[in-house]
Amino acid sequence: MTDNLRKVMITAKVHPYLVDYLTEKGYQVLYNPAITHEEVFQNIHGCIGLIVTTRIKVDKDVIDNAPHLQWIGRLGSGMEMIDVAYARHKGIRCVSSPEGNCDAVGEHVIATLLCLFGNIVKSNLQLRENIWEREKNRGFELKEKTVGIIGYGNTGSAVAQKLSGFECTIMAYDKYKTDFGTDFVQEVQLQDIFKYADIVSIHLPLTDETNHMVNEEFLSSFAGPVYFVNTSRGKIMDTAALIENLKSGHVAGACLDVLENEHLDTMDETERAQFDFLLHSEHVLLTPHIAGYTHEAAYKTAHIVLKKLGI
């Protein structure tokens, strides 16, 4: 194989281990964390490998301009940015590494719930304004709350495992998985989560089926006020429906690590108004898609992708 066919393109900021390992194995690494889609298209022709996150869409145009491409490695979970069917049709292997950042997401879910329930962020911001307020910041405990997990793959199960120490009742539903109940997780139907959950946490890929799954009908199905957590994909939720239910109190609060539009400078007037509402609501905690973005996860996702590819 010629040097021209030993190129691997990396399109996002990654753990140094990934670049070092590929280099040691004799690959020529094209590492450009700020690369654009157009630049990927222009420079992919001689590459046999491509490493991506959520930054770059690997569409038919990119794939067709990569005649030597043998594999695509996705750091993390979710393959919606890759035309996997077309890639496989062209003989390109596609792998992801959801096992690598599931613990990071699990910890993030716990952290944001504790912050929201305990008014930790809110009271900290007040103190920065020289406001000492105890009574209005009296919080709630996770203990004895009923948590419904929708989607019980690597991440959903990691959330459940980490919640188990809080003495919650943990229920989980997965449309495509059964017989996963444990001594601390009850396998249930979606209707049971609607009926009993105090908190619901979504751990699903973005597909045609899950796009805007969390809509008015979904949210109105809960028997009582519910706390909503989304660390998966922003487009799984209908932001307008979520806001209306926050205003009515049917959604008691929300922890959102993802938004429908995460490019703040491209938001239209409606999206900006929605973002401003969520940002300033005392019942909402927003983070910038960092749930699975720990230093440890950066290493683990890279290690798992390389292992799956057999490199």
Alpha helices in the chain (DSSP H): 16-24, 37-43, 60-64, 84-89, 102-117, 120-128, 154-163, 190-196, 216-220, 239-248, 269-280, 295-309
**3-state secondary structure string, 254-301?**
EEECCCCCCCHHHCCHHHHHHHHHHHHCCCEEECCCCCCCCHHHHHHH
Contacts with 163 (C-beta within 8 Å, 6 or more apart), sequence order: 110, 142, 147, 170
* Catalytic positions, written as ranges: 233, 262, 289
Distance between CA atoms of residues 194 and 192, nearest Å: 5
Per DSSP, the residues of 23-47 read HHTT-EEEE-TT--HHHHHHH-TTE
Query: Which residues are 93's β-sheet partners?
Result: 71
Q: Could you tell me the two tokens for 297? A: 């996860």
